[in-house]
Chains A and B, each alone.
Chain A
Amino acid sequence: MNFDPTPEQQAFLESVRALVRERIAPHALRWDEEGKWPAEVLPDLARAGLFGIYAPREHGGRGLDTVSYALAIEELSSELPALAIALSVNNSLVANPIARFGTVEQKQRFLTPVASGKLLGAFALTEAEAGSDATRLSGRARLEDSGYVLNAEKVMVTNGGPAGLFLVVVATEPEKLGRGLTAFLVPADAPGVTRGARDQLMGLRSSDVRTVTFDNVRLGPEHRLGEEGRGLSVTIEALNAGRVGVGAQAVGIGRGALDRAVRHAGRRRQFGQTLGQIGPVQQMLAAAHTEIEAARMAVLHAAQCRDRGESFSADASRAKLSASQAAVLAASTAVQVFGGWGYLTATGVERFHRDAKVTELYEGTSEMQRIVLAGSLTRG
């Protein structure tokens, strides 16, 4: 038993912390307000290995573990949650399934640039009429001559604009539902790939999220990731790791919001005392912090399960479920502690309140996580 990071994990965390402090924190509020995709900082993040934290070194990754990934995502998220999800998607939803299911050639051609930050990855699963129920996709790929022709309209694709590679899941045998899905690696410059306008979001405004359409995109068989019919396995592999990342992101949101609230509570005086000396304020700060700490434990636990090669689907769901609810509570609490000032964009806490909400929605709503978790209890 050891609750401390290993020296390697600690050193990595400190390098990320320094990067966040110097290159991200000074700009985060403005980037959010302007909805600016933080392109200028991406080369620094690439040099730090943040695009492939647990991807193998021989394929451009940093070769660390899932715990390191969770620590890094939390750290990024405590200042700019939008950047945390951009990287989490790249690491877990794109690099990760290629590392797991890709051929040697696919790893060389796609994983190396994605994991090293040369090519940004995006994951295209959700459709207008297929969200949580991902087995009934209307996107199709059909085999023709020596390749596939892909047609799909994918919505809410995180990293959709700047992405250089899409991992797209569509039906190859629709009547087989979940067993008829197949995953493809689609370069963004393939003919027939069109990106819609950027979606306007409640939070994570620096995120680039949009609809991407695939119109008769012709792909050689070397673009198929995994076997035909294994698209659901690819999706589950991606989302299990992704949920650890969203959990870490949510912990970072909660911590970022609470750190600001606690500092404010220590300085702001009312009725002749600081807010931090006022009982009800203390109670709400501590209540939110407690939820965040419990959630961080759940996230790091899930990360460890993954690192040991154990089945960690329920652990990942639990981590995301706990952390996303904790983030919403903590961010709301932070605004409350700031009072009216918290409602002003300039004080830099309301953005966490807006950002937190989506952690209960994407990569599986809280309702879906509860189904997974309950299933692990009542089956078997």
Chain B
Amino acid sequence: MRLALVALGWAPWIPGCSDRLVDGSFLGDSTIRLRGELASHVADSLSPVVGAIWLGYSALSTPNQGLETTALPITRIQFPASFTCEILDPPPSCGRYQLADGRIVPAAIRIARLVIIDDRDGDGRFAVDATGGVVAPDRLLARAEEHVLLYVQSVPADPSRLDATGSILTNWEAASPGYHLVATDPATVPPGVSGQVVDNGTRVIFEPPRPAAGP
């Protein structure tokens, strides 16, 4: 009897960003193969990993708010300095971002800065502090200055209407559900992010950190 009641009252729960689908072997759109390249020699490292620093939902107006991190093992390295890594998991969560002018973007997304970390303690993860700096003993080796990673969970109802409004992307029509690379506009004043979705095969250039640079 209880089972029947449960069946009557149960409504399927829609998986969120961090919810694996089925048994974890299928991840739908939650995957991207990232092609990276080091712009110049970086410091010697014990255990380099690619890191995603997920910007919090208010981090486009207030720096370093709500940052979360995930480390992504490098799957293939080619000389001189090219590598690939595969992102198989969705972000920790997805939601709407608030822009510097207070507007809230009507799409459930998540944006990450891409970095290369020396995972010196070998625990397969890293953390950032309140200023956005990598917490020791791990160490920042390089960061992508011209691209960010975008995950789209739900698209805006009218994407083209957003394009000219300064709402993160200038080509929202290309932001289908799943992972995307976004080429950022260097003229955008931090902590804001603005850019356009580009092909996921685009090579991402990583550069050694500039002094006092945050995420």
Partners in one complex: no
